[in-house]
């Protein structure tokens, strides 16, 4: 007879990941020496652990060795969920306010939802029915939302209508088809107590499982096995256990904050099984409602990625063809991030988001698919490919207050302004930072630059006037 697989809990105290067997209480150290692990999940069929690190802004996995799954374009990934049927991974970005999805190895990454996603915190899946749930801390309307795992049919299943509310972790009861979540509202309103709730997948049948217990002072993560719920508490550093219907408290252990409980995952047919997991899609196949599927467009679908983006013939044979031109997108930056969005769908991130500590200005070189930007805090100019790789420092000396930056795509040079006490000038260098020199000095307050390479002209913005400078 095959060995009986007993359920176990995997939990993190931010700096290490451990396992504890539900029956017997045996501890095992799985991953030591971590920076700040917040979310984790486990692919039971593949015996693979996935986790996020919000200090390093990366997603990792461990099969035999530790691998980086997502290395670029992350900022505070606080929720993570594995689709064990179609072999995809989903995560929420609390800082970038979006939900993303990729294959388990990080390939075929795309933005699933961003419009109206205000402050997502936790995420859970039921791939058997193609349902995705997530919590949102939106101060104006704390809520729990649901959609298909392909992003369709989005709707709110629970909305906090009372005073405050902070829906934190959530989990799925696969047997009862219910969602359970914890509300950490005490942090916002100390006069109110935290609680654990349960509702059916459609939001009906709401019950309050437990409220005001000494081990619910700031609940963070929750999971379930059989008739019992398990949750971690940030303040008490405990793992607690109670009945999922009555809230009858049973025990607590001194542990930590993020956790998942794992036993054999419920099975269902995979509508994306054909063609190596792509179904009849040319790229990313996502499970949707009613055992259907949806095909998603990838980030960076340009002529440089023909293998993923440009397949025709969706049966047994595949042929690739080339684009005559790349897709257009809008490149813009906020205070701490750079994004590129599709012009037709502004909530679709065409490129991976870049997080920068103190940004001022950005430009793009289409011929090499590179982004250039200035970092005024570190007084540097950096560049990277739009997929996040190839990060380099172009210039790092004598760079006070760079407010103007422009790529000359004809002569392959980079221009920028300096507006420090001792440097008020326009500088130029090769795109790799070599042969740097000042070309115009003694300016007043040089700000933005615009280039006209075909005419050999530079347009300089000054608070008092504009200048058009020739070569």
Q: Dump pLDDT digits (tens) for 130-141.
A: 999 999 988 888
pLDDT of residue 396: 84
375 forms bridges with which residues in the sheet?
359, 380
Class (C level, CATH) for 329-470: mainly beta
pLDDT of residue 20: 84
Give every residue of the chain whose pLDDT is below 70, as ranges.
Answer: 1-5, 162-164, 185-193, 252-264, 297-327, 357, 359, 398, 462-471
What sign does the CA torsion over 55, 56, 62, 65 have? negative
Nearest-angstrom CA–CA distance, 338 and 75: 12
Task: Give me the CATH topology for the region 8-262.
Answer: Neuraminidase (2.120.10)
Distance of CA 184 to the CA centre of its chain: 22
Domain residue spans in the chain?
A: 8-262, 329-470
pLDDT of residue 298: 64
CB atoms within 10 A of CB 47: 11
Nearest-angstrom CA–CA distance, 219 and 241: 12
Instruction: Please tell me if the domain spanning 8-262 has the same topology as the one spanning 329-470.
Output: yes
- Report the b/e string of 287-316 with b at 16+ CB within 10 A: bbbeeebbbbbbbbbbeeeeebbbbeeeee
Q: What are phi and psi of 275, to 5 degrees?
A: 55, 50
**Angle (nearest 5°) at CA 205 between 201 and 210:** 100
How many residues are recorded in the chain?
471
């Amino acid at each position: 007879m095959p060995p009986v697989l007993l359920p176990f809990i995997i939990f993190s105290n931010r700096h290490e990941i451990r396992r504890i067997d539900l029956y017997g209480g045996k501890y095992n150290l799985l991953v030591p020496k971590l920076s700040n692990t917040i979310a984790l999940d486990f692919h039971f069929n593949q015996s693979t652990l996935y986790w996020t690190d919000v200090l390093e802004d990366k997603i990792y996995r461990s099969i035999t060795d530790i691998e980086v799954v997502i290395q670029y374009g992350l900022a505070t990934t606080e929720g993570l969920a594995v689709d064990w049927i179609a072999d995809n991974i989903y995560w929420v970005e609390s800082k970038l306010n979006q939900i993303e999805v990729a294959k388990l190895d990080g390939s075929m990454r795309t933005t699933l939802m961003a419009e109206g996603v205000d402050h997502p915190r936790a995420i859970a899946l039921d791939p058997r029915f193609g349902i995705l749930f997530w919590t949102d801390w939106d101060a104006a309307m704390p809520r729990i939302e649901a959609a298909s795992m392909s992003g369709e049919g989005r709707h709110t299943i629970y909305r906090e209508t009372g005073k405050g509310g902070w829906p934190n972790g959530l989990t799925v009861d696969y047997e009862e088809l219910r969602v359970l979540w914890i509300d950490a509202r005490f942090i916002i309103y100390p006069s109110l107590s935290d609680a654990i709730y349960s509702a059916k997948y459609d939001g009906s049948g709401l019950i309050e499982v437990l409220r005001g217990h000494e081990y619910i002072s700031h609940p963070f993560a929750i999971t379930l096995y059989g008739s019992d719920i398990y949750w971690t508490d940030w303040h008490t550093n405990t793992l607690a256990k109670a009945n999922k219907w009555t809230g009858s408290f049973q025990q607590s252990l001194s542990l930590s904050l993020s956790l998942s409980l794992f036993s054999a995952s419920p099975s269902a047919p995979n509508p994306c099984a054909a063609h190596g997991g792509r179904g009849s899609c040319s790229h990313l196949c996502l499970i949707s409602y009613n055992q259907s599927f949806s095909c998603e467009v990838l980030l960076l679908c340009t002529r440089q990625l023909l293998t993923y983006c440009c397949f025709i013939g969706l049966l047994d044979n595949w042929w690739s063809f080339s684009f005559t031109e790349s897709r257009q997108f809008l490149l813009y930056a906020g205070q701490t991030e750079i994004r590129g969005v599709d012009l037709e769908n502004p909530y679709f991130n065409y490129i991976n988001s870049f997080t920068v500590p103190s940004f001022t200005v950005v430009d793009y070189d289409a011929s090499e698919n590179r982004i250039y930007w200035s970092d005024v805090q570190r007084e540097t100019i950096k560049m990277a490919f739009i997929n996040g790789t190839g990060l380099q420092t172009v210039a790092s000396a004598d760079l006070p207050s760079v407010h103007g930056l422009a790529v000359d795509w004809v002569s392959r040079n980079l221009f920028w302004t300096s507006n420090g006490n001792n440097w008020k000038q326009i500088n130029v260098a090769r795109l790799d930072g070599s042969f740097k020199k000042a070309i115009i000095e003694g300016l007043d307050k040089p700000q933005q630059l615009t280039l006209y390479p075909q005419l050999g002209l530079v347009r300089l913005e000054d608070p008092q006037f504009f200048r058009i400078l020739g070569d």
